[in-house]
Amino acid sequence: MGSLLQFLHDHLEMAYIVVLSVFLGVEVISRVPSVLHTPLMSGANAIHGVVIIGAIIVMGQASPDNYFALIIGFLAVIVGTLNVVGGFVVTDRMLDMFRTRKKKTDLQENRNG
């Protein structure tokens, strides 16, 4: 615990930047219109694909006795993969909503026409 406090004391500016980045990210994301949600989700999926590749590279370069790097790399691969798969599932469900409306409209036109 003491080493963490010492690190924060030595790098206080970095801690301020991280905290301000979190607040800025929340503000930016909360103001995104729903029309842009799907394209932004696709971009986030691509970014997390890069994170997965980087984590695999880090795990491959780490020495076998460096358990910290291996665990962090493994967690990065797992979390990145969950985010990519979840993003594709959400995007697919959103696109299915639009396809369903079109199919229902086509079925109603065929019944009436």
Position 87 scores a pLDDT of: 78
Cα–Cα–Cα angle for 57, 65, 83, rounded to 5 degrees: 40
Query: Which pLDDT tens digit goes with each residue over 7-44?
Result: 888 888 988 998 999 999 888 878 888 777 767 777 77
% pLDDT > 70, the chain: 86
Question: Which pTM does this prediction carry?
Answer: 0.54
Distances (CA, A) of 14 to 21, 22, 88, 90: 10, 12, 33, 34
Coil vs helix vs strand at 34? helix
Residue 78 has pLDDT above 80, yes or no: yes
Position 20 scores a pLDDT of: 94
Distances (CA, A) of 90 to 55, 72, 80: 24, 26, 15
Q: List alpha helices for 1-113, DSSP H.
A: 2-10, 12-30, 37-61, 67-112
Position 109 scores a pLDDT of: 64
Tell me the mean pLDDT in the region 58-64. 88
Tell me the mean pLDDT in the region 41-50. 77
Token duo for residue 109? 């036109």
